[in-house]
Structure 1
């Protein structure tokens, strides 16, 4: 087994970095979805949702940076083109969504996909003793589960 400068198995960290790049691509689509629904939301709930969507896209933008920097920390190169993102992303793309319930449903569906990827990374990073990635995924999962709960409460589901 070859260890990197972090003391982690290079083979395992390369695989984790690949998975983090997959997460990065999906987060970029999620971020862009949030921008789109923030710009296009209409209706009686405009003021509340417009502010909430801005809060979510600001948080997503921070997470995008954290993911990319973790990929770099693990010695790999983060994906950084929309071509790369769309080639691997599974998060649904929300186009021209302006209705409140469809906007919130898009958030729930997107976060559900992100959680699947994050849990996979959490398992692998735990196995690799990669506490930095493990902690990041744990924090992301905790926040996103709460957001899904709140969005589902809003949807009354």
Structure 2
């Protein structure tokens, strides 16, 4: 057992998954910063604000995931080269139209939701309530975001 009473092997596997999740959050964070900075067109004002809200939320999640990795006894990755290597979400550059930005965000949420559901099941099996709670909150929030963003581009 580790210091918080979880099986060390199970905690180690969760750390690996959470570190991959961290990489995805970091790349998405930077993509959304780019959306915010570079958005153009008739929806500029509303999307500029929306993307700022989104990247602020993502930055909080980056910190929470990294701290959860530390709580489980791991060390979070902290280089962009590692993030780029380990992220299923790819960098988006040169994007400035609203539909492309929102579609990129929706695609990224799909990636995150899939990862988080798998990690949630893994954490539940390990009796890791802290990780379960964290991921459950993320999933609920992101599912609502997907609904609203999908309605926006419909």
Matches within 5 A, 1:88-99: 88-99=86-97
Question: Does the 8 A contact of 2:38 with 2:96 survive in 1?
Answer: yes
Tell me how far apart the structure 1 counterparts of residues 49 and 106 of structure 2 sit (CA, whole Å): 17
The offset of 1:5, in angstroms, is 1.3
Question: Does the 8 A contact of 1:20 with 1:67 survive in 2?
Answer: yes
Q: Residues 113-150 of structure 1, C-alpha deviation per residue, up to 9 Å, x if partnerless?
A: 01111011100000000000000000000000000000
Q: Unpaired segments of 5 or more residues in structure 1? A: none
Matches within 5 A, 1:37-116: 37-116=35-114
The offset of 1:92, in angstroms, is 2.9
Give the number of equivalent residue pairs.
Answer: 154
SS in 1 for 2:84: helix
Q: Unpaired segments of 5 or more residues in structure 2? A: none
Q: Which moved more, 1:83-92 or 1:122-131?
A: 83-92
Matched residue, 2:148: 150
Check if 1:129 corresponds to 2:124. no
